[in-house]
Structure 1
Amino acid sequence: MTKRIGIDDTQLAEALLSAIEDHILPLTRKGVAAGNKIFGAAVLRKSDGSVVLAETNNETENPIWHGETHLIKRYHEKRAGGSDELPPPGELIFLTTHEPCTMCLSAITWAGFDNFFDFFTHEDSRDSFAIPHDLKILKEVFTLDPGGYQRRNDYWNARSVADVISSADEDRQAELIARAEAIRAEYDRLSAAYQDSKAGSSIPLR
Protein backbone atom coordinates (compact mmCIF):
# COMPACT_ATOMS: atom_id res chain seq x y z
CA MET A 1 0.00 0.00 0.00
CA THR A 2 1.39 3.39 -1.03
CA LYS A 3 0.58 6.46 1.04
CA ARG A 4 1.37 10.12 0.65
CA ILE A 5 3.70 11.74 3.17
CA GLY A 6 1.42 13.15 5.83
CA ILE A 7 3.65 15.91 7.19
CA ASP A 8 4.68 19.24 5.65
CA ASP A 9 8.23 20.10 4.60
CA THR A 10 9.07 21.85 7.87
CA GLN A 11 8.08 18.78 9.85
CA LEU A 12 9.77 16.55 7.29
CA ALA A 13 13.05 18.45 7.48
CA GLU A 14 12.96 18.19 11.26
CA ALA A 15 12.27 14.46 11.07
CA LEU A 16 15.03 13.76 8.53
CA LEU A 17 17.66 15.71 10.46
CA SER A 18 16.64 14.07 13.74
CA ALA A 19 16.85 10.64 12.12
CA ILE A 20 20.45 11.33 11.12
CA GLU A 21 21.43 12.97 14.42
CA ASP A 22 19.77 10.53 16.81
CA HIS A 23 19.61 7.22 14.95
CA ILE A 24 22.05 6.94 12.03
CA LEU A 25 25.08 8.80 13.38
CA PRO A 26 25.40 6.76 16.61
CA LEU A 27 25.49 3.58 14.51
CA THR A 28 27.89 5.08 11.98
CA ARG A 29 30.35 6.14 14.67
CA LYS A 30 30.58 2.50 15.73
CA GLY A 31 30.70 1.33 12.13
CA VAL A 32 33.58 3.62 11.22
CA ALA A 33 35.46 2.52 14.33
CA ALA A 34 35.13 -1.05 12.99
CA GLY A 35 36.52 -0.05 9.58
CA ASN A 36 33.33 0.64 7.62
CA LYS A 37 32.44 3.57 5.39
CA ILE A 38 30.36 6.50 6.59
CA PHE A 39 27.12 5.77 4.71
CA GLY A 40 23.88 5.10 6.59
CA ALA A 41 20.13 4.96 6.08
CA ALA A 42 16.81 4.92 7.91
CA VAL A 43 13.13 4.37 7.27
CA LEU A 44 10.54 6.71 8.80
CA ARG A 45 6.77 6.59 8.91
CA LYS A 46 5.11 8.77 6.29
CA SER A 47 2.34 9.53 8.75
CA ASP A 48 4.43 11.34 11.36
CA GLY A 49 8.15 11.10 10.47
CA SER A 50 9.01 8.78 13.35
CA VAL A 51 11.98 6.48 12.81
CA VAL A 52 11.16 2.81 12.34
CA LEU A 53 14.65 1.44 11.74
CA ALA A 54 18.15 2.76 11.07
CA GLU A 55 21.34 1.09 9.90
CA THR A 56 24.85 1.89 8.73
CA ASN A 57 27.42 0.52 6.33
CA ASN A 58 28.65 -2.97 7.20
CA GLU A 59 31.04 -3.77 4.33
CA THR A 60 33.51 -5.43 6.69
CA GLU A 61 30.96 -8.26 6.98
CA ASN A 62 29.85 -8.26 3.34
CA PRO A 63 30.92 -5.77 0.64
CA ILE A 64 27.34 -5.32 -0.57
CA TRP A 65 26.10 -4.22 2.86
CA HIS A 66 26.05 -0.54 2.04
CA GLY A 67 23.95 1.58 4.39
CA GLU A 68 20.85 1.17 2.24
CA THR A 69 21.17 -2.55 1.47
CA HIS A 70 22.07 -3.34 5.07
CA LEU A 71 18.97 -1.46 6.20
CA ILE A 72 16.76 -3.34 3.71
CA LYS A 73 18.26 -6.64 4.87
CA ARG A 74 17.58 -5.87 8.53
CA TYR A 75 14.09 -4.52 7.72
CA HIS A 76 13.08 -7.79 6.06
CA GLU A 77 14.68 -9.91 8.74
CA LYS A 78 12.58 -8.13 11.34
CA ARG A 79 9.42 -8.39 9.24
CA ALA A 80 10.05 -12.10 8.64
CA GLY A 81 10.50 -12.47 12.40
CA GLY A 82 6.92 -11.35 12.90
CA SER A 83 7.58 -7.79 14.03
CA ASP A 84 4.33 -5.83 13.88
CA GLU A 85 6.19 -2.52 14.29
CA LEU A 86 7.43 -2.39 10.70
CA PRO A 87 4.94 -0.98 8.19
CA PRO A 88 5.13 -2.01 4.51
CA PRO A 89 7.41 0.00 2.21
CA GLY A 90 4.55 2.07 0.79
CA GLU A 91 4.00 3.60 4.23
CA LEU A 92 7.64 4.57 4.74
CA ILE A 93 10.08 7.34 3.91
CA PHE A 94 13.52 6.05 2.86
CA LEU A 95 16.37 8.31 4.04
CA THR A 96 19.98 7.92 2.91
CA THR A 97 22.87 9.94 4.26
CA HIS A 98 24.51 9.89 0.82
CA GLU A 99 22.97 9.72 -2.64
CA PRO A 100 22.65 5.98 -3.34
CA CYS A 101 25.04 4.10 -5.60
CA THR A 102 23.67 2.14 -8.56
CA MET A 103 23.33 -1.03 -6.49
CA CYS A 104 21.41 0.76 -3.77
CA LEU A 105 19.20 2.58 -6.27
CA SER A 106 18.22 -0.82 -7.61
CA ALA A 107 17.77 -2.28 -4.12
CA ILE A 108 15.43 0.54 -3.10
CA THR A 109 13.46 -0.10 -6.30
CA TRP A 110 13.25 -3.88 -5.93
CA ALA A 111 12.31 -3.53 -2.26
CA GLY A 112 9.22 -1.51 -3.19
CA PHE A 113 10.01 1.92 -1.74
CA ASP A 114 8.44 4.78 -3.70
CA ASN A 115 10.78 7.52 -2.49
CA PHE A 116 14.15 8.36 -1.05
CA PHE A 117 15.74 11.46 0.48
CA ASP A 118 19.51 12.01 0.45
CA PHE A 119 21.61 14.36 2.56
CA PHE A 120 24.90 14.32 0.61
CA THR A 121 25.25 14.11 -3.18
CA HIS A 122 27.36 11.79 -5.34
CA GLU A 123 29.68 14.75 -5.88
CA ASP A 124 30.03 15.14 -2.11
CA SER A 125 30.99 11.47 -1.83
CA ARG A 126 33.70 11.98 -4.46
CA ASP A 127 34.97 15.43 -3.58
CA SER A 128 34.45 15.77 0.17
CA PHE A 129 34.80 12.15 1.26
CA ALA A 130 37.28 10.75 -1.31
CA ILE A 131 34.91 7.93 -2.29
CA PRO A 132 34.48 8.30 -6.07
CA HIS A 133 33.07 4.86 -6.85
CA ASP A 134 29.40 5.87 -7.22
CA LEU A 135 30.11 8.33 -10.03
CA LYS A 136 32.78 6.14 -11.62
CA ILE A 137 30.40 3.16 -11.83
CA LEU A 138 27.65 5.36 -13.27
CA LYS A 139 30.07 6.52 -15.96
CA GLU A 140 31.96 3.29 -16.69
CA VAL A 141 29.00 0.89 -16.61
CA PHE A 142 26.02 3.05 -17.57
CA THR A 143 27.81 5.89 -19.47
CA LEU A 144 25.98 8.42 -17.28
CA ASP A 145 27.46 11.73 -16.18
CA PRO A 146 26.68 13.10 -12.68
CA GLY A 147 22.94 13.63 -12.35
CA GLY A 148 22.29 11.45 -15.39
CA TYR A 149 19.66 9.19 -13.85
CA GLN A 150 16.01 10.16 -13.41
CA ARG A 151 15.23 11.31 -9.88
CA ARG A 152 11.52 11.18 -10.72
CA ASN A 153 10.41 8.01 -12.45
CA ASP A 154 7.73 5.30 -12.44
CA TYR A 155 9.27 3.64 -9.36
CA TRP A 156 10.18 6.46 -6.98
CA ASN A 157 10.71 10.16 -6.48
CA ALA A 158 13.95 11.41 -4.94
CA ARG A 159 14.58 14.68 -3.11
CA SER A 160 17.57 16.08 -1.30
CA VAL A 161 17.33 17.05 2.35
CA ALA A 162 18.62 20.48 1.30
CA ASP A 163 15.60 20.86 -0.99
CA VAL A 164 13.25 19.95 1.85
CA ILE A 165 14.93 22.52 4.12
CA SER A 166 14.63 25.19 1.43
CA SER A 167 10.87 24.53 1.31
CA ALA A 168 10.43 24.71 5.09
CA ASP A 169 8.89 27.68 6.87
CA GLU A 170 11.17 30.69 6.54
CA ASP A 171 11.29 31.30 10.27
CA ARG A 172 12.69 27.77 10.80
CA GLN A 173 15.22 27.65 7.99
CA ALA A 174 18.16 29.20 9.85
CA GLU A 175 17.83 26.64 12.63
CA LEU A 176 17.48 23.75 10.18
CA ILE A 177 20.47 24.93 8.13
CA ALA A 178 22.59 25.18 11.29
CA ARG A 179 21.69 21.60 12.19
CA ALA A 180 22.55 20.45 8.67
CA GLU A 181 25.93 22.18 8.91
CA ALA A 182 26.62 20.46 12.23
CA ILE A 183 25.80 17.11 10.62
CA ARG A 184 28.20 17.89 7.77
CA ALA A 185 30.94 18.69 10.28
CA GLU A 186 30.41 15.39 12.06
CA TYR A 187 30.61 13.49 8.77
CA ASP A 188 33.82 15.33 7.94
CA ARG A 189 35.29 14.04 11.19
CA LEU A 190 34.08 10.49 10.56
CA SER A 191 35.38 10.61 7.00
CA ALA A 192 38.84 11.58 8.21
CA ALA A 193 38.78 8.64 10.63
CA TYR A 194 37.74 6.24 7.87
CA GLN A 195 40.36 7.52 5.43
CA ASP A 196 43.07 7.16 8.10
CA SER A 197 42.15 3.53 8.74
CA LYS A 198 41.19 2.18 5.31
CA ALA A 199 44.66 1.21 4.06
CA GLY A 200 44.49 -2.17 5.77
CA SER A 201 40.84 -2.80 4.93
CA SER A 202 39.66 -5.85 2.98
CA ILE A 203 36.73 -3.88 1.44
CA PRO A 204 37.16 -4.22 -2.37
CA LEU A 205 36.27 -0.61 -3.27
CA ARG A 206 37.71 1.47 -0.46
Structure 2
Amino acid sequence: MEINENADLVRRLLTVMENDILPLTEKGVEGGNKVFGGALMRKSDMSLVMAQTNNETENPLWHGEVHLLKCFYESPVAKREATRDMIFLSTHEPCTMCMSAIAWAGFDNFFYFFSHQDSRDSFAIPHDLKMLKEVFGLEPGGYNHDNAFWRGRGIFDIIAALPEDEAQPLIGQAGRIRARYSELSQLYQKSKDANAIPLN
Protein backbone atom coordinates (compact mmCIF):
# COMPACT_ATOMS: atom_id res chain seq x y z
CA MET A 1 0.00 0.00 0.00
CA GLU A 2 1.38 3.39 -1.00
CA ILE A 3 1.84 6.02 1.72
CA ASN A 4 0.63 9.48 0.79
CA GLU A 5 3.22 12.00 1.97
CA ASN A 6 0.76 14.76 2.80
CA ALA A 7 -0.35 16.99 5.67
CA ASP A 8 -2.57 14.27 7.18
CA LEU A 9 0.39 11.90 7.40
CA VAL A 10 2.65 14.51 8.99
CA ARG A 11 -0.04 15.54 11.47
CA ARG A 12 -0.49 11.95 12.56
CA LEU A 13 3.26 11.28 12.80
CA LEU A 14 3.72 14.35 14.97
CA THR A 15 0.74 13.43 17.15
CA VAL A 16 2.13 9.95 17.77
CA MET A 17 5.50 11.46 18.66
CA GLU A 18 3.94 13.94 21.05
CA ASN A 19 1.34 11.71 22.71
CA ASP A 20 2.77 8.19 22.54
CA ILE A 21 6.57 8.25 22.16
CA LEU A 22 7.49 11.32 24.24
CA PRO A 23 5.91 10.10 27.50
CA LEU A 24 7.89 6.85 27.21
CA THR A 25 11.07 8.76 26.39
CA GLU A 26 10.62 11.02 29.41
CA LYS A 27 10.66 7.93 31.64
CA GLY A 28 13.56 6.45 29.67
CA VAL A 29 15.70 9.55 30.08
CA GLU A 30 14.98 9.52 33.82
CA GLY A 31 16.55 6.04 33.80
CA GLY A 32 19.67 7.22 31.97
CA ASN A 33 18.67 6.36 28.39
CA LYS A 34 19.04 8.44 25.25
CA VAL A 35 16.18 10.45 23.74
CA PHE A 36 15.55 8.22 20.71
CA GLY A 37 12.25 6.40 20.16
CA GLY A 38 9.93 5.00 17.53
CA ALA A 39 6.45 3.78 16.71
CA LEU A 40 4.65 1.43 14.34
CA MET A 41 1.41 2.51 12.69
CA ARG A 42 -0.98 0.82 10.29
CA LYS A 43 -0.87 2.15 6.74
CA SER A 44 -4.60 1.57 6.35
CA ASP A 45 -5.78 4.08 8.97
CA MET A 46 -2.57 5.36 10.64
CA SER A 47 -3.66 3.84 13.96
CA LEU A 48 -0.94 3.06 16.48
CA VAL A 49 0.35 -0.49 16.75
CA MET A 50 3.12 0.15 19.29
CA ALA A 51 5.46 2.85 20.56
CA GLN A 52 8.76 2.41 22.38
CA THR A 53 11.89 4.27 23.40
CA ASN A 54 15.63 3.76 23.79
CA ASN A 55 16.68 1.21 26.42
CA GLU A 56 20.47 1.15 26.11
CA THR A 57 20.96 0.97 29.86
CA GLU A 58 19.64 -2.60 29.62
CA ASN A 59 21.43 -3.49 26.39
CA PRO A 60 23.51 -1.14 24.18
CA LEU A 61 21.78 -2.59 21.11
CA TRP A 62 18.35 -1.44 22.30
CA HIS A 63 18.30 1.77 20.28
CA GLY A 64 14.80 3.22 20.03
CA GLU A 65 14.05 1.45 16.75
CA VAL A 66 15.61 -1.91 17.65
CA HIS A 67 13.99 -1.92 21.08
CA LEU A 68 10.66 -1.20 19.40
CA LEU A 69 11.16 -4.17 17.07
CA LYS A 70 12.19 -6.40 19.99
CA CYS A 71 9.03 -5.49 21.89
CA PHE A 72 6.88 -5.88 18.78
CA TYR A 73 8.12 -9.40 18.06
CA GLU A 74 7.67 -10.38 21.71
CA SER A 75 4.01 -9.33 21.59
CA PRO A 76 1.00 -11.24 20.22
CA VAL A 77 0.31 -8.44 17.74
CA ALA A 78 3.32 -9.58 15.68
CA LYS A 79 1.41 -12.75 14.79
CA ARG A 80 -1.49 -10.72 13.38
CA GLU A 81 0.16 -7.69 11.80
CA ALA A 82 2.47 -7.74 8.74
CA THR A 83 5.31 -5.23 8.73
CA ARG A 84 4.72 -4.48 5.03
CA ASP A 85 1.35 -3.03 6.11
CA MET A 86 2.91 -0.61 8.62
CA ILE A 87 4.51 2.79 8.78
CA PHE A 88 7.77 2.97 10.74
CA LEU A 89 8.22 6.25 12.62
CA SER A 90 11.59 7.11 14.15
CA THR A 91 12.09 10.22 16.25
CA HIS A 92 15.65 10.55 14.93
CA GLU A 93 17.08 9.48 11.58
CA PRO A 94 18.01 5.82 12.12
CA CYS A 95 21.62 4.79 12.55
CA THR A 96 23.13 2.12 10.32
CA MET A 97 22.16 -0.68 12.71
CA CYS A 98 18.57 0.51 12.91
CA MET A 99 18.27 1.03 9.15
CA SER A 100 19.40 -2.55 8.68
CA ALA A 101 16.99 -3.82 11.34
CA ILE A 102 14.12 -2.02 9.62
CA ALA A 103 15.07 -3.72 6.35
CA TRP A 104 15.53 -7.16 7.93
CA ALA A 105 12.10 -6.85 9.58
CA GLY A 106 10.44 -6.25 6.20
CA PHE A 107 9.37 -2.61 6.44
CA ASP A 108 9.35 -0.72 3.15
CA ASN A 109 9.51 2.74 4.74
CA PHE A 110 10.59 4.88 7.63
CA PHE A 111 9.91 8.50 8.57
CA TYR A 112 12.05 10.54 10.94
CA PHE A 113 11.78 13.91 12.72
CA PHE A 114 15.37 14.81 13.67
CA SER A 115 18.21 14.30 11.18
CA HIS A 116 21.65 12.77 11.79
CA GLN A 117 22.99 16.33 11.84
CA ASP A 118 20.46 17.21 14.55
CA SER A 119 21.65 14.24 16.59
CA ARG A 120 25.21 15.53 16.34
CA ASP A 121 24.64 19.27 16.67
CA SER A 122 21.54 19.62 18.86
CA PHE A 123 21.85 16.44 20.94
CA ALA A 124 25.66 16.06 21.19
CA ILE A 125 25.36 12.47 19.97
CA PRO A 126 27.61 12.23 16.87
CA HIS A 127 27.84 8.44 16.62
CA ASP A 128 25.43 8.01 13.68
CA LEU A 129 27.44 10.26 11.38
CA LYS A 130 30.76 8.96 12.68
CA MET A 131 29.67 5.37 11.97
CA LEU A 132 28.54 6.27 8.44
CA LYS A 133 31.91 7.97 7.79
CA GLU A 134 34.27 5.55 9.50
CA VAL A 135 32.67 2.26 8.46
CA PHE A 136 31.04 3.09 5.13
CA GLY A 137 32.93 6.19 3.96
CA LEU A 138 29.71 8.19 3.62
CA GLU A 139 29.24 11.90 4.20
CA PRO A 140 26.06 13.15 5.95
CA GLY A 141 23.01 12.18 3.90
CA GLY A 142 25.17 9.96 1.70
CA TYR A 143 23.15 6.77 2.01
CA ASN A 144 20.39 5.90 -0.48
CA HIS A 145 17.09 7.17 0.91
CA ASP A 146 15.30 5.21 -1.83
CA ASN A 147 16.57 1.68 -2.27
CA ALA A 148 15.45 -1.91 -2.81
CA PHE A 149 14.44 -2.25 0.86
CA TRP A 150 12.78 0.97 1.95
CA ARG A 151 12.05 4.63 1.33
CA GLY A 152 13.34 6.89 4.11
CA ARG A 153 11.88 10.40 4.52
CA GLY A 154 12.44 13.31 6.84
CA ILE A 155 9.22 14.81 8.19
CA PHE A 156 10.52 18.33 7.62
CA ASP A 157 11.21 17.50 3.96
CA ILE A 158 7.53 16.62 3.57
CA ILE A 159 6.44 19.79 5.37
CA ALA A 160 8.66 21.89 3.09
CA ALA A 161 6.78 20.58 0.04
CA LEU A 162 3.32 21.44 1.44
CA PRO A 163 1.32 24.61 0.69
CA GLU A 164 1.97 27.25 3.35
CA ASP A 165 -1.54 27.08 4.82
CA GLU A 166 -1.12 23.34 5.43
CA ALA A 167 2.46 23.62 6.64
CA GLN A 168 2.06 26.36 9.26
CA PRO A 169 0.00 24.42 11.85
CA LEU A 170 2.40 21.50 11.51
CA ILE A 171 5.40 23.76 12.06
CA GLY A 172 3.79 24.94 15.30
CA GLN A 173 3.27 21.39 16.51
CA ALA A 174 6.80 20.46 15.47
CA GLY A 175 8.13 23.40 17.46
CA ARG A 176 6.50 22.12 20.65
CA ILE A 177 8.00 18.70 20.07
CA ARG A 178 11.46 20.09 19.34
CA ALA A 179 11.38 22.16 22.54
CA ARG A 180 10.48 19.14 24.68
CA TYR A 181 13.24 17.02 23.15
CA SER A 182 15.70 19.83 23.82
CA GLU A 183 14.79 19.72 27.52
CA LEU A 184 15.14 15.93 27.61
CA SER A 185 18.50 16.13 25.83
CA GLN A 186 19.83 18.47 28.51
CA LEU A 187 18.72 16.01 31.20
CA TYR A 188 20.41 13.14 29.39
CA GLN A 189 23.67 15.04 28.91
CA LYS A 190 23.81 15.89 32.61
CA SER A 191 23.45 12.26 33.66
CA LYS A 192 25.12 10.29 30.86
CA ASP A 193 28.47 9.83 32.60
CA ALA A 194 26.69 7.80 35.29
CA ASN A 195 25.48 5.12 32.86
CA ALA A 196 27.37 2.25 31.26
CA ILE A 197 26.33 2.87 27.63
CA PRO A 198 29.51 2.34 25.53
CA LEU A 199 28.72 5.13 23.03
CA ASN A 200 26.97 7.62 25.25
Flag whether TM exceeds 0.5 (same fold). yes
Does residue 60 of structure 2 align to residue 53 of structure 1? Answer: no
Equivalent residue number for residue 70 of structure 1: 67
Query: Partner amino acid for 1:90?
Result: R
- After the TM superposition, which of the residue ranges 44-53 and 121-130 deviates more from structure 2? 44-53
Rounded to whole Å, the distance in 2 between the matches of 1:14 and 1:92 is: 17
Please give the per-residue CA displacement for 1:94-143, whole angstroms capped at 9, x wherever unaligned.
Answer: 00000001100100010000000010000000010000000111111111
Task: Give the number of aligned pairs.
Answer: 200
Whether contact under 8 Å (2:132, 2:138) holds in the other structure is yes
Please give the per-residue CA displacement for 1:152-189, whole angstroms capped at 9, x wherever unaligned.
Answer: 00110011111222344532311110110111110100
Does residue 103 of structure 2 align to residue 103 of structure 1? Answer: no
Per-residue deviation, 1:44: 0.9
Does residue 38 of structure 2 align to residue 44 of structure 1? Answer: no
Per-residue deviation, 1:49: 1.4
Secondary structure at the aligned position of 1:146 is classed as coil
Structure 2 gaps of 5+ residues are: none
Structure 1 gaps of 5+ residues are: none
Residue 163 and residue 176 in structure 1: after superposition, are their counterparts in 2 closer, same or farther (change >3 A)? Answer: same
1:183-202 equivalence runs, <5 A = 183-202=177-196
Equivalent residue number for residue 158 of structure 2: 164
- After the TM superposition, which of the residue ranges 50-59 and 85-94 deviates more from structure 2? 85-94
Query: Partner amino acid for 2:25?
Result: T
Q: Spell out structure 1 runs of 4+ moving beyond 3 A.
A: 83-86, 167-170
Secondary structure at the aligned position of 2:74 is classed as helix
Rounded to whole Å, the distance in 1 between the matches of 2:50 and 2:79 is: 10
Whether contact under 8 Å (1:98, 1:118) holds in the other structure is yes
Give me the TM-score of the superposition, normalised by structure 1.
0.93
Does residue 144 of structure 2 align to residue 150 of structure 1? Answer: yes
Residue 85 and residue 183 in structure 1: after superposition, are their counterparts in 2 closer, same or farther (change >3 A)? Answer: farther
Report sequence identity in percent.
56
Equivalent residue number for residue 2 of structure 2: 4
Secondary structure at the aligned position of 1:30 is classed as helix
